[in-house]
Structure 1
Amino acid sequence: MNLTISGHHLDVTPALREYVVTKLDRVTRHFDQVVDINVLLTVEKQKEKERRQRAEVTLRVKGKDIFVEQSHEDLYAAIDQLMDKLDRQVCRHKEMLQNHHHESAKRLDLGATT
C-alpha cells in the first residue's frame, strides 16, 4: 500500500501526518485490498473570516477509486469527518463485493413467457 500525504498552502507536520495515519488504520482494517492512498490537506485562503480547512482522500482499491472530501474550520475536525465518510464508503464497497444474493444475468429469465 502506497500512502502519500501532501499539503497545499500548509506544511504537513509529523504530528499531523501521524494523526492521518492513525485515522487511516481504521479504514484499512475493514478492507485490506487497498492499493494506493493519496491524502491532500489544504488551507483555502478566500477571506480571513471564512478561512476553511479542507481534506481530500483518493483511495484506490482493486477495481474502483473512492474519492472523499470534507471542509471544516478546524483541520483535525475535517480529517475526522473525512475518515467517517471514507469508512462508510469502504464498508459499502466491501458489502457490494461480498453480496452474493443478487441474481446473475444468465439466470434471469427476461424474455421467456409461458
Structure 2
Amino acid sequence: MRYDLDRDTEESCADMVPVDGGRYVESVDFDRVTAERDALQLLLNDLEEQNHSLEQRRHAEKQAGQAAERRVAELEWVLMAIRSKSIDTILIAQIDAALNPTAEAVSNEA
C-alpha cells in the first residue's frame, strides 16, 4: 500500500506505517519496536511462570514446616510427660506411636 507524500520532505511514504493523529513512522522503526514488544512479552510470560512455580514451592514448604511444627509440639508434650514422671500405659503407647509410627501396628500383630 502506498501512502501520501511526506509533507516535510516531499518523499514517498511507501516505507512508512501510519500511527495516531495522521502521523507516520518508518517501517524499520515500527518493526524494531514491535520485535522489542514481543520479546518483552515473552520475558514477562517466563517471569510469571517462574513466579507461579515459586509460589507453589513456597506453599508446599509452608505446609511441610507446619507439619514439622506439629510434630515438634507432640514430641515436646511427650518429653514434658516423661520429665514429670507421670508415665502410664497410655502415655507409653503415645511415646511409641510418636517415635515410631509403625510401633502400634507391630504391637497389634503380636
TM-score after normalising by structure 1? 0.30
More strand per residue: 1
TM-score after normalising by structure 2? 0.31
Larger Rg: 2
More helix per residue: 2
Structure having greater relative contact order (Cα 8 Å, sep ≥ 6): 1
